[in-house]
Structure 1
Amino acid sequence: MAGHSKWANIQHRKGRQDAARSKLFSKLSKEITVAAKMGDPDPEKNPRLRLAVKDAKTNSVPKDVIERAIKKSQGGDAETYDEIRYEGYGPGGVAVIVEAMTDNRNRTASNVRSTFTKNGGNLGETGSVAFMFDRKGQITYGPEAGDADTVMMAAIEAGAEDVESGEDGHVIWCADTDLNDVSTALEADLGESDSTRLVWKPTTTTELDLEGAQKLMKLIDALEDDDDVQTVTANFEISDEVMEELGAA
Protein backbone atom coordinates (compact mmCIF):
# COMPACT_ATOMS: atom_id res chain seq x y z
CA MET A 1 0.00 0.00 0.00
CA ALA A 2 3.02 2.32 0.31
CA GLY A 3 2.60 5.34 -1.91
CA HIS A 4 -1.04 4.74 -2.76
CA SER A 5 -2.15 8.02 -1.20
CA LYS A 6 0.66 9.91 -2.94
CA TRP A 7 0.48 8.44 -6.41
CA ALA A 8 -3.03 8.59 -7.84
CA ASN A 9 -2.62 5.48 -9.94
CA ILE A 10 -3.40 2.46 -7.80
CA GLN A 11 -2.30 -1.04 -8.69
CA HIS A 12 -2.71 -3.01 -5.52
CA ARG A 13 -0.80 -6.31 -5.50
CA LYS A 14 -0.40 -8.79 -2.72
CA GLY A 15 2.89 -10.58 -2.33
CA ARG A 16 3.64 -11.08 1.35
CA GLN A 17 2.38 -14.61 1.79
CA ASP A 18 3.83 -17.62 -0.01
CA ALA A 19 0.53 -18.50 -1.69
CA ALA A 20 0.07 -14.94 -2.93
CA ARG A 21 3.67 -14.85 -4.13
CA SER A 22 3.18 -18.05 -6.10
CA LYS A 23 0.05 -16.58 -7.69
CA LEU A 24 1.92 -13.41 -8.62
CA PHE A 25 4.75 -15.44 -10.20
CA SER A 26 2.16 -17.34 -12.23
CA LYS A 27 0.58 -14.14 -13.54
CA LEU A 28 3.91 -12.59 -14.43
CA SER A 29 4.96 -15.79 -16.19
CA LYS A 30 1.73 -15.78 -18.19
CA GLU A 31 2.45 -12.24 -19.40
CA ILE A 32 5.96 -13.29 -20.44
CA THR A 33 4.63 -16.30 -22.37
CA VAL A 34 1.97 -14.24 -24.17
CA ALA A 35 4.43 -11.44 -25.00
CA ALA A 36 7.00 -13.91 -26.35
CA LYS A 37 4.37 -15.77 -28.37
CA MET A 38 3.05 -12.56 -29.95
CA GLY A 39 6.50 -11.30 -30.95
CA ASP A 40 10.17 -12.24 -30.90
CA PRO A 41 11.33 -14.51 -28.03
CA ASP A 42 14.37 -12.24 -27.63
CA PRO A 43 13.54 -9.48 -25.09
CA GLU A 44 15.94 -7.09 -26.84
CA LYS A 45 13.87 -7.36 -30.03
CA ASN A 46 10.45 -7.42 -28.35
CA PRO A 47 9.58 -4.32 -26.25
CA ARG A 48 6.56 -5.92 -24.59
CA LEU A 49 8.58 -8.99 -23.61
CA ARG A 50 11.41 -6.81 -22.34
CA LEU A 51 9.01 -4.98 -20.03
CA ALA A 52 7.42 -8.24 -18.89
CA VAL A 53 10.81 -9.72 -18.03
CA LYS A 54 11.82 -6.54 -16.22
CA ASP A 55 8.59 -6.57 -14.18
CA ALA A 56 9.21 -10.23 -13.29
CA LYS A 57 12.76 -9.51 -12.16
CA THR A 58 11.56 -6.56 -10.08
CA ASN A 59 9.22 -8.95 -8.29
CA SER A 60 12.04 -11.46 -7.70
CA VAL A 61 10.84 -14.09 -10.16
CA PRO A 62 13.71 -16.62 -10.53
CA LYS A 63 15.68 -16.59 -13.77
CA ASP A 64 14.79 -20.21 -14.56
CA VAL A 65 11.06 -19.43 -14.24
CA ILE A 66 11.44 -16.53 -16.70
CA GLU A 67 13.39 -18.67 -19.18
CA ARG A 68 10.83 -21.47 -18.88
CA ALA A 69 7.98 -19.03 -19.61
CA ILE A 70 9.73 -17.81 -22.77
CA LYS A 71 10.51 -21.35 -23.90
CA LYS A 72 6.89 -22.34 -23.30
CA SER A 73 5.75 -19.71 -25.81
CA GLN A 74 7.67 -21.44 -28.59
CA GLY A 75 6.07 -24.83 -28.05
CA GLY A 76 3.25 -26.05 -30.24
CA ASP A 77 1.14 -26.83 -27.19
CA ALA A 78 1.38 -23.33 -25.69
CA GLU A 79 -1.98 -22.10 -24.42
CA THR A 80 -3.77 -19.35 -26.30
CA TYR A 81 -4.97 -16.51 -24.09
CA ASP A 82 -7.36 -13.70 -24.88
CA GLU A 83 -6.62 -10.31 -23.33
CA ILE A 84 -9.78 -8.73 -21.96
CA ARG A 85 -10.48 -5.50 -20.10
CA TYR A 86 -13.41 -5.23 -17.70
CA GLU A 87 -14.69 -1.95 -16.31
CA GLY A 88 -16.98 -1.16 -13.44
CA TYR A 89 -17.58 0.70 -10.22
CA GLY A 90 -16.57 -0.36 -6.74
CA PRO A 91 -17.81 0.79 -3.32
CA GLY A 92 -17.97 4.56 -3.00
CA GLY A 93 -18.36 5.01 -6.74
CA VAL A 94 -14.69 4.30 -7.41
CA ALA A 95 -13.89 3.48 -11.04
CA VAL A 96 -12.19 0.10 -11.48
CA ILE A 97 -10.37 -1.38 -14.50
CA VAL A 98 -9.59 -5.09 -14.51
CA GLU A 99 -7.19 -6.56 -17.07
CA ALA A 100 -7.31 -10.31 -17.59
CA MET A 101 -5.78 -13.06 -19.70
CA THR A 102 -8.00 -16.06 -20.16
CA ASP A 103 -8.48 -19.24 -22.15
CA ASN A 104 -12.19 -19.17 -21.34
CA ARG A 105 -13.98 -15.83 -21.76
CA ASN A 106 -17.27 -17.04 -20.32
CA ARG A 107 -15.65 -18.32 -17.13
CA THR A 108 -13.68 -15.15 -16.53
CA ALA A 109 -16.58 -12.80 -17.28
CA SER A 110 -18.83 -14.73 -14.92
CA ASN A 111 -16.23 -14.73 -12.14
CA VAL A 112 -15.42 -11.05 -12.46
CA ARG A 113 -19.10 -10.05 -12.53
CA SER A 114 -19.82 -12.20 -9.48
CA THR A 115 -16.87 -10.71 -7.58
CA PHE A 116 -18.04 -7.16 -8.26
CA THR A 117 -21.58 -7.99 -7.14
CA LYS A 118 -20.54 -9.79 -3.95
CA ASN A 119 -18.30 -6.93 -2.89
CA GLY A 120 -20.59 -3.96 -3.36
CA GLY A 121 -19.61 -3.10 -6.92
CA ASN A 122 -21.16 -3.17 -10.36
CA LEU A 123 -19.56 -4.43 -13.57
CA GLY A 124 -20.23 -2.05 -16.45
CA GLU A 125 -19.84 -2.06 -20.21
CA THR A 126 -16.54 -1.56 -22.00
CA GLY A 127 -15.80 2.15 -21.96
CA SER A 128 -17.95 2.87 -18.93
CA VAL A 129 -14.99 4.08 -16.83
CA ALA A 130 -11.96 4.06 -19.16
CA PHE A 131 -12.63 7.69 -20.09
CA MET A 132 -11.54 8.61 -16.54
CA PHE A 133 -8.05 7.20 -17.16
CA ASP A 134 -5.16 7.76 -19.54
CA ARG A 135 -2.99 4.88 -20.72
CA LYS A 136 0.55 5.82 -19.70
CA GLY A 137 4.03 4.43 -19.21
CA GLN A 138 5.15 4.57 -15.57
CA ILE A 139 8.77 4.26 -14.45
CA THR A 140 9.68 4.44 -10.78
CA TYR A 141 13.00 5.08 -9.07
CA GLY A 142 13.96 5.19 -5.42
CA PRO A 143 15.51 8.25 -3.71
CA GLU A 144 18.98 6.90 -4.46
CA ALA A 145 18.50 7.76 -8.15
CA GLY A 146 19.16 11.41 -7.31
CA ASP A 147 17.42 14.60 -6.26
CA ALA A 148 14.31 15.94 -7.99
CA ASP A 149 16.25 18.21 -10.37
CA THR A 150 18.63 15.43 -11.44
CA VAL A 151 15.80 13.02 -12.20
CA MET A 152 13.75 15.73 -13.92
CA MET A 153 16.62 16.57 -16.29
CA ALA A 154 17.21 12.91 -17.07
CA ALA A 155 13.50 12.40 -17.72
CA ILE A 156 13.29 15.38 -20.06
CA GLU A 157 16.33 14.13 -21.99
CA ALA A 158 14.74 10.68 -22.25
CA GLY A 159 11.48 12.06 -23.66
CA ALA A 160 9.24 11.67 -20.60
CA GLU A 161 6.14 13.80 -20.07
CA ASP A 162 6.16 14.40 -16.32
CA VAL A 163 7.92 13.55 -13.05
CA GLU A 164 6.52 13.37 -9.53
CA SER A 165 9.20 13.37 -6.83
CA GLY A 166 8.82 12.87 -3.10
CA GLU A 167 10.60 11.40 -0.10
CA ASP A 168 9.78 7.86 -1.30
CA GLY A 169 11.36 8.39 -4.72
CA HIS A 170 10.36 9.40 -8.21
CA VAL A 171 7.54 8.45 -10.57
CA ILE A 172 8.21 9.25 -14.21
CA TRP A 173 5.36 9.36 -16.73
CA CYS A 174 5.53 9.01 -20.50
CA ALA A 175 3.31 8.18 -23.46
CA ASP A 176 2.44 4.49 -23.53
CA THR A 177 4.03 4.08 -26.96
CA ASP A 178 7.29 5.63 -25.71
CA LEU A 179 7.76 3.46 -22.61
CA ASN A 180 10.44 1.17 -24.02
CA ASP A 181 12.53 4.02 -25.45
CA VAL A 182 12.18 6.25 -22.39
CA SER A 183 12.98 3.47 -19.93
CA THR A 184 16.04 2.42 -21.95
CA ALA A 185 17.35 6.00 -22.03
CA LEU A 186 16.74 6.43 -18.29
CA GLU A 187 18.57 3.21 -17.48
CA ALA A 188 21.63 4.52 -19.29
CA ASP A 189 21.51 7.68 -17.18
CA LEU A 190 20.04 6.66 -13.80
CA GLY A 191 20.55 2.91 -13.73
CA GLU A 192 17.99 0.14 -13.29
CA SER A 193 14.52 1.36 -12.35
CA ASP A 194 12.44 -0.09 -9.53
CA SER A 195 9.59 -0.79 -11.95
CA THR A 196 8.64 -0.11 -15.56
CA ARG A 197 5.11 -0.79 -16.71
CA LEU A 198 2.06 0.33 -18.63
CA VAL A 199 -0.66 1.61 -16.32
CA TRP A 200 -4.03 3.32 -16.29
CA LYS A 201 -3.48 6.78 -14.79
CA PRO A 202 -6.66 8.38 -13.43
CA THR A 203 -7.56 11.82 -14.68
CA THR A 204 -9.90 12.22 -11.71
CA THR A 205 -9.95 10.52 -8.29
CA THR A 206 -12.49 9.68 -5.59
CA GLU A 207 -11.47 10.15 -1.96
CA LEU A 208 -12.50 7.39 0.42
CA ASP A 209 -13.03 7.27 4.17
CA LEU A 210 -11.90 4.29 6.24
CA GLU A 211 -15.05 2.23 5.66
CA GLY A 212 -15.01 2.88 1.93
CA ALA A 213 -11.32 2.03 1.71
CA GLN A 214 -11.83 -1.25 3.58
CA LYS A 215 -14.69 -2.27 1.27
CA LEU A 216 -12.72 -1.37 -1.85
CA MET A 217 -9.64 -3.29 -0.67
CA LYS A 218 -11.86 -6.32 -0.14
CA LEU A 219 -13.09 -6.05 -3.75
CA ILE A 220 -9.57 -5.58 -5.13
CA ASP A 221 -8.22 -8.52 -3.11
CA ALA A 222 -11.05 -10.75 -4.35
CA LEU A 223 -10.45 -9.74 -7.97
CA GLU A 224 -6.71 -10.34 -7.70
CA ASP A 225 -7.34 -13.79 -6.24
CA ASP A 226 -8.74 -14.78 -9.65
CA ASP A 227 -6.03 -16.59 -11.62
CA ASP A 228 -7.21 -14.96 -14.86
CA VAL A 229 -6.87 -11.40 -13.54
CA GLN A 230 -3.54 -9.73 -14.30
CA THR A 231 -3.99 -6.21 -12.90
CA VAL A 232 -6.60 -4.18 -11.03
CA THR A 233 -6.52 -0.39 -11.18
CA ALA A 234 -8.84 1.99 -9.33
CA ASN A 235 -9.05 5.79 -9.16
CA PHE A 236 -9.36 6.15 -5.40
CA GLU A 237 -7.40 8.43 -3.14
CA ILE A 238 -6.83 7.99 0.58
CA SER A 239 -5.63 10.57 3.10
CA ASP A 240 -2.56 9.84 5.20
CA GLU A 241 -4.80 9.58 8.28
CA VAL A 242 -7.06 6.98 6.70
CA MET A 243 -4.00 5.15 5.36
CA GLU A 244 -2.69 4.78 8.91
CA GLU A 245 -6.05 3.54 10.17
CA LEU A 246 -6.29 1.11 7.27
CA GLY A 247 -2.88 -0.29 8.06
CA ALA A 248 -3.81 -0.73 11.71
CA ALA A 249 -7.20 -2.28 11.01
Structure 2
Amino acid sequence: MAGHSKFKNIMHRKGAQDKKRSGMFSKLSREITVAAKMGLPDPDMNPRLRAAVNAAKAQSMPKDNIQRSIDKASKGDAENYEEVRYEGYGPGGVAIIVEALTDNRNRTATNVRTAFSKNGGNLGASGSVAHGFERLGLIEYPAAAGDEDKVMEAAIEAGADDVQSDEDGHQIWTQQDGMHDVAKTLESALGPAEAVKLAWKPNLEVTVTGDDVATLMKLVDALEDDDDVQTVWGNYDISDADLEKLG
Protein backbone atom coordinates (compact mmCIF):
# COMPACT_ATOMS: atom_id res chain seq x y z
CA MET A 1 0.00 0.00 0.00
CA ALA A 2 1.25 3.46 -0.87
CA GLY A 3 0.53 6.79 0.75
CA HIS A 4 0.20 10.26 -0.72
CA SER A 5 0.36 10.85 -4.44
CA LYS A 6 0.04 13.60 -7.03
CA PHE A 7 -2.37 11.46 -9.03
CA LYS A 8 -4.67 14.47 -9.37
CA ASN A 9 -2.15 15.83 -11.86
CA ILE A 10 -2.51 12.71 -13.99
CA MET A 11 -6.28 13.09 -14.11
CA HIS A 12 -6.01 16.87 -14.70
CA ARG A 13 -7.49 19.56 -12.51
CA LYS A 14 -10.81 18.81 -10.86
CA GLY A 15 -11.69 22.51 -10.87
CA ALA A 16 -11.57 22.53 -14.64
CA GLN A 17 -13.89 19.55 -14.73
CA ASP A 18 -16.41 21.30 -12.52
CA LYS A 19 -16.77 24.05 -15.11
CA LYS A 20 -17.84 21.54 -17.74
CA ARG A 21 -20.90 20.14 -16.03
CA SER A 22 -23.20 20.14 -19.06
CA GLY A 23 -20.58 18.38 -21.15
CA MET A 24 -19.94 16.00 -18.27
CA PHE A 25 -23.61 15.02 -18.14
CA SER A 26 -23.50 14.22 -21.85
CA LYS A 27 -20.48 11.96 -21.39
CA LEU A 28 -22.04 10.27 -18.35
CA SER A 29 -25.28 9.68 -20.26
CA ARG A 30 -23.38 8.09 -23.11
CA GLU A 31 -21.54 5.72 -20.76
CA ILE A 32 -24.80 4.77 -19.01
CA THR A 33 -26.48 4.02 -22.33
CA VAL A 34 -23.56 1.94 -23.61
CA ALA A 35 -23.31 0.01 -20.33
CA ALA A 36 -27.04 -0.72 -20.31
CA LYS A 37 -26.97 -1.79 -23.94
CA MET A 38 -24.03 -4.15 -23.42
CA GLY A 39 -25.61 -5.90 -20.44
CA LEU A 40 -28.80 -5.94 -18.40
CA PRO A 41 -30.55 -2.57 -17.83
CA ASP A 42 -30.53 -3.23 -14.07
CA PRO A 43 -27.59 -1.64 -12.19
CA ASP A 44 -27.75 -4.38 -9.55
CA MET A 45 -27.14 -7.03 -12.23
CA ASN A 46 -24.74 -5.05 -14.43
CA PRO A 47 -21.48 -3.94 -12.74
CA ARG A 48 -20.49 -1.52 -15.51
CA LEU A 49 -23.92 0.12 -15.44
CA ARG A 50 -23.83 0.32 -11.65
CA ALA A 51 -20.47 2.09 -11.83
CA ALA A 52 -21.78 4.49 -14.47
CA VAL A 53 -24.90 5.30 -12.45
CA ASN A 54 -22.87 5.87 -9.28
CA ALA A 55 -20.52 8.18 -11.18
CA ALA A 56 -23.50 10.14 -12.47
CA LYS A 57 -24.99 10.44 -9.00
CA ALA A 58 -21.64 11.63 -7.64
CA GLN A 59 -21.80 14.50 -10.12
CA SER A 60 -25.38 15.34 -9.07
CA MET A 61 -26.85 14.24 -12.38
CA PRO A 62 -30.68 14.28 -12.08
CA LYS A 63 -32.34 10.89 -11.61
CA ASP A 64 -34.60 11.52 -14.61
CA ASN A 65 -31.56 11.95 -16.84
CA ILE A 66 -30.04 8.73 -15.56
CA GLN A 67 -33.25 6.74 -16.11
CA ARG A 68 -33.73 8.28 -19.56
CA SER A 69 -30.27 7.08 -20.59
CA ILE A 70 -31.05 3.54 -19.39
CA ASP A 71 -34.43 3.56 -21.14
CA LYS A 72 -32.83 4.56 -24.45
CA ALA A 73 -30.80 1.38 -24.39
CA SER A 74 -33.71 -0.77 -23.23
CA LYS A 75 -35.96 0.48 -26.03
CA GLY A 76 -33.32 -0.10 -28.67
CA ASP A 77 -33.37 3.49 -29.94
CA ALA A 78 -29.91 4.43 -28.68
CA GLU A 79 -27.06 5.33 -31.00
CA ASN A 80 -24.52 2.63 -31.74
CA TYR A 81 -21.39 3.78 -29.95
CA GLU A 82 -18.09 1.95 -30.08
CA GLU A 83 -15.15 2.22 -27.73
CA VAL A 84 -11.95 3.53 -29.30
CA ARG A 85 -8.56 4.42 -27.88
CA TYR A 86 -5.99 6.90 -29.15
CA GLU A 87 -2.39 7.24 -28.01
CA GLY A 88 0.11 10.00 -28.50
CA TYR A 89 2.65 12.38 -27.04
CA GLY A 90 2.20 15.84 -25.58
CA PRO A 91 4.63 18.65 -24.74
CA GLY A 92 7.72 17.54 -22.85
CA GLY A 93 7.44 13.98 -24.15
CA VAL A 94 4.37 13.22 -22.00
CA ALA A 95 2.53 10.02 -22.94
CA ILE A 96 -1.24 10.42 -23.32
CA ILE A 97 -4.06 7.88 -23.71
CA VAL A 98 -7.48 9.08 -24.88
CA GLU A 99 -10.58 6.90 -24.48
CA ALA A 100 -13.71 7.70 -26.48
CA LEU A 101 -17.21 6.46 -27.19
CA THR A 102 -18.16 7.38 -30.74
CA ASP A 103 -20.73 6.79 -33.46
CA ASN A 104 -18.33 8.16 -36.10
CA ARG A 105 -14.71 7.03 -35.93
CA ASN A 106 -13.58 9.39 -38.69
CA ARG A 107 -14.96 12.44 -36.90
CA THR A 108 -13.45 11.48 -33.57
CA ALA A 109 -10.05 10.59 -35.03
CA THR A 110 -9.92 13.92 -36.89
CA ASN A 111 -10.84 15.89 -33.77
CA VAL A 112 -8.31 14.07 -31.58
CA ARG A 113 -5.54 14.45 -34.17
CA THR A 114 -6.32 18.17 -34.49
CA ALA A 115 -6.21 18.65 -30.72
CA PHE A 116 -2.77 17.05 -30.56
CA SER A 117 -1.32 18.95 -33.51
CA LYS A 118 -2.59 22.35 -32.39
CA ASN A 119 -1.28 21.97 -28.84
CA GLY A 120 2.28 20.76 -29.13
CA GLY A 121 1.54 17.06 -29.40
CA ASN A 122 1.59 14.19 -31.88
CA LEU A 123 -0.95 11.42 -32.30
CA GLY A 124 0.80 8.06 -32.40
CA ALA A 125 -0.06 4.56 -33.53
CA SER A 126 -2.10 2.16 -31.42
CA GLY A 127 0.13 0.72 -28.71
CA SER A 128 2.72 3.48 -28.98
CA VAL A 129 2.40 4.56 -25.32
CA ALA A 130 0.14 1.99 -23.61
CA HIS A 131 3.16 -0.17 -22.76
CA GLY A 132 4.16 2.50 -20.23
CA PHE A 133 0.91 2.11 -18.28
CA GLU A 134 -0.87 -0.59 -16.29
CA ARG A 135 -4.56 -1.29 -16.91
CA LEU A 136 -6.09 -1.39 -13.44
CA GLY A 137 -9.34 -0.81 -11.62
CA LEU A 138 -9.72 2.58 -9.93
CA ILE A 139 -12.24 3.39 -7.18
CA GLU A 140 -12.45 7.02 -6.10
CA TYR A 141 -13.81 8.47 -2.86
CA PRO A 142 -14.02 12.09 -1.70
CA ALA A 143 -12.01 13.27 1.29
CA ALA A 144 -15.27 13.28 3.27
CA ALA A 145 -15.35 9.46 3.15
CA GLY A 146 -12.84 9.37 5.99
CA ASP A 147 -9.23 9.98 6.90
CA GLU A 148 -6.35 8.12 5.27
CA ASP A 149 -6.18 5.43 7.96
CA LYS A 150 -9.90 4.66 7.76
CA VAL A 151 -9.86 4.36 3.99
CA MET A 152 -6.64 2.35 4.04
CA GLU A 153 -8.10 -0.14 6.51
CA ALA A 154 -11.31 -0.51 4.49
CA ALA A 155 -9.32 -0.99 1.28
CA ILE A 156 -7.13 -3.70 2.81
CA GLU A 157 -10.21 -5.51 4.13
CA ALA A 158 -11.81 -5.30 0.66
CA GLY A 159 -8.75 -6.76 -1.08
CA ALA A 160 -7.48 -3.64 -2.86
CA ASP A 161 -3.88 -3.42 -4.06
CA ASP A 162 -3.00 0.20 -3.34
CA VAL A 163 -4.37 3.44 -1.88
CA GLN A 164 -3.30 7.00 -2.68
CA SER A 165 -4.74 9.79 -0.56
CA ASP A 166 -4.41 13.58 -0.66
CA GLU A 167 -6.51 16.61 0.27
CA ASP A 168 -8.82 16.01 -2.72
CA GLY A 169 -9.76 12.46 -1.85
CA HIS A 170 -8.76 8.82 -2.11
CA GLN A 171 -7.83 6.67 -5.10
CA ILE A 172 -8.07 2.93 -4.49
CA TRP A 173 -6.39 0.63 -7.01
CA THR A 174 -7.37 -2.96 -7.78
CA GLN A 175 -6.77 -5.62 -10.39
CA GLN A 176 -9.17 -5.42 -13.33
CA ASP A 177 -11.07 -8.59 -12.59
CA GLY A 178 -11.54 -7.77 -8.92
CA MET A 179 -12.63 -4.16 -9.28
CA HIS A 180 -16.37 -4.59 -8.86
CA ASP A 181 -16.06 -7.05 -5.94
CA VAL A 182 -13.75 -4.64 -4.12
CA ALA A 183 -16.09 -1.73 -4.88
CA LYS A 184 -19.08 -3.63 -3.50
CA THR A 185 -17.23 -4.43 -0.28
CA LEU A 186 -16.01 -0.84 0.09
CA GLU A 187 -19.54 0.46 -0.33
CA SER A 188 -20.55 -1.33 2.86
CA ALA A 189 -17.77 0.45 4.79
CA LEU A 190 -17.51 3.84 3.09
CA GLY A 191 -20.74 4.30 1.16
CA PRO A 192 -21.09 4.63 -2.64
CA ALA A 193 -17.90 5.61 -4.49
CA GLU A 194 -17.59 8.71 -6.63
CA ALA A 195 -16.31 6.58 -9.48
CA VAL A 196 -15.54 2.94 -10.28
CA LYS A 197 -13.73 2.50 -13.57
CA LEU A 198 -10.86 0.94 -15.46
CA ALA A 199 -7.87 3.26 -15.53
CA TRP A 200 -4.43 3.64 -17.05
CA LYS A 201 -1.83 4.03 -14.32
CA PRO A 202 1.63 5.14 -15.52
CA ASN A 203 4.67 3.11 -14.56
CA LEU A 204 6.84 6.23 -14.56
CA GLU A 205 5.86 9.91 -14.41
CA VAL A 206 7.34 12.77 -16.42
CA THR A 207 7.84 16.07 -14.60
CA VAL A 208 6.54 18.98 -16.67
CA THR A 209 7.67 22.54 -15.97
CA GLY A 210 7.87 25.99 -17.58
CA ASP A 211 5.98 26.83 -20.76
CA ASP A 212 5.18 23.15 -21.35
CA VAL A 213 2.72 23.21 -18.45
CA ALA A 214 0.31 25.67 -20.08
CA THR A 215 0.61 23.98 -23.49
CA LEU A 216 -0.02 20.55 -22.02
CA MET A 217 -3.07 21.73 -20.11
CA LYS A 218 -4.45 23.30 -23.30
CA LEU A 219 -4.03 19.95 -25.01
CA VAL A 220 -5.80 18.08 -22.20
CA ASP A 221 -8.60 20.68 -22.15
CA ALA A 222 -9.04 20.44 -25.93
CA LEU A 223 -9.32 16.66 -25.73
CA GLU A 224 -11.70 16.69 -22.76
CA ASP A 225 -13.91 19.29 -24.47
CA ASP A 226 -14.65 16.86 -27.30
CA ASP A 227 -18.07 15.26 -26.86
CA ASP A 228 -16.79 11.83 -27.90
CA VAL A 229 -13.88 11.75 -25.46
CA GLN A 230 -14.66 10.07 -22.15
CA THR A 231 -11.30 10.11 -20.35
CA VAL A 232 -7.78 11.43 -20.85
CA TRP A 233 -4.87 9.77 -19.06
CA GLY A 234 -1.26 10.90 -18.96
CA ASN A 235 2.02 10.17 -17.22
CA TYR A 236 2.71 13.80 -16.33
CA ASP A 237 3.43 15.30 -12.93
CA ILE A 238 3.04 19.05 -12.40
CA SER A 239 3.81 20.90 -9.18
CA ASP A 240 0.94 22.55 -7.33
CA ALA A 241 2.72 25.90 -7.76
CA ASP A 242 2.76 25.55 -11.56
CA LEU A 243 -0.89 24.49 -11.62
CA GLU A 244 -1.88 27.51 -9.52
CA LYS A 245 -0.20 29.83 -12.03
CA LEU A 246 -2.70 28.67 -14.65
CA GLY A 247 -5.61 30.00 -12.57
The TM-score with structure 2 as length reference comes to: 0.91
Tell whether 2:107 aligns with 1:107: yes
Query: Closer, same or farther in 2 for the Cα pair 1:8/1:66, shift >3 Å?
Result: closer
How far is the alpha carbon of 1:6 from its aligned partner?
1.6
What does residue 25 of structure 1 align with?
25
SS of 1:98's partner is: strand
Aligned with 2:204: secondary structure? coil
1:132 aligns with 2:126: no
SS at match of 1:111: helix
Structure-2 change in CA distance of 1:145 and 1:89 (3 Å) = same
Q: In the alignment, does 2:227 pair up with 1:232?
A: no
> 1:85 maps to which residue?
85
Amino acid at match of 1:207: T
1:142 Cα offset (Å): 3.5
Deviating above 4 A after TM superposition, structure 1's stretches of 4 or more consecutive aligned residues are none
CA distance in 2, matches of 1:166, 1:23: 27
Asked whether the 8 Å contact 1:85–1:99 carries over to 2, the reply is: yes
Deviation at 1:88, TM superposition (A): 0.2
| Structure 1, 145-154 or 129-138: larger mean CA deviation | 145-154
Q: 1:52 matched to which residue of 2?
A: 52
Deviates more, 1:147-156 or 1:68-77: 147-156
Mapped to 2, the partners of 1:134 and 1:67 lie a distance apart of 33
Deviation at 1:167, TM superposition (A): 4.1
Distance 2:173 2:150 in 1: 16
Matched-pair identity in %:
60
Equivalent residues of 1:8, 1:236 under 8 A apart? no
How many Å apart are 1:210 and its aligned residue? 3.4
Q: Show the 5 A alignment for 1:1-249.
A: 6-7=6-7, 10-12=10-12, 14-17=16-19, 20-247=20-247
**Does the aligned pair in 1 maintain the 2:54–2:193 contact within 8 Å?**
no
Give the TM-score taking structure 1 as reference length.
Answer: 0.90
Shift in Å at residue 8 of structure 1? 6.3
What amino acid is the match of 1:214?
A
Contact 1:88–1:96 (CA under 8 A) maintained in structure 2: yes
SS at match of 2:40: coil
Ranges in structure 1 where 5+ consecutive residues have no aligned partner: none
Amino acid at match of 1:234: G
Whether the 8 Å CA contact 2:51–2:195 is kept in 1: the answer is: no
SS in 2 for 1:154: helix
The letter for the 2-side match of 1:102 is T
Q: Cα 1:120–1:149, aligned 2, differ >3 Å: closer, same or farther?
A: same
1:1-47: per-residue Cα shift (whole Å, max 9, x none)? xxxx7216622364444xx3211101110000000000000001000
TM-aligned CA distance change 1:104 to 1:215, over 3 Å: same
8 Å contact from structure 2 (residues 9, 238) kept in 1: no
| Separation in 2, partners of 1:107, 1:170 | 36
Secondary structure in 2 matching 1:43? coil
Report how far residue 94 of structure 1 moved. Answer: 0.6
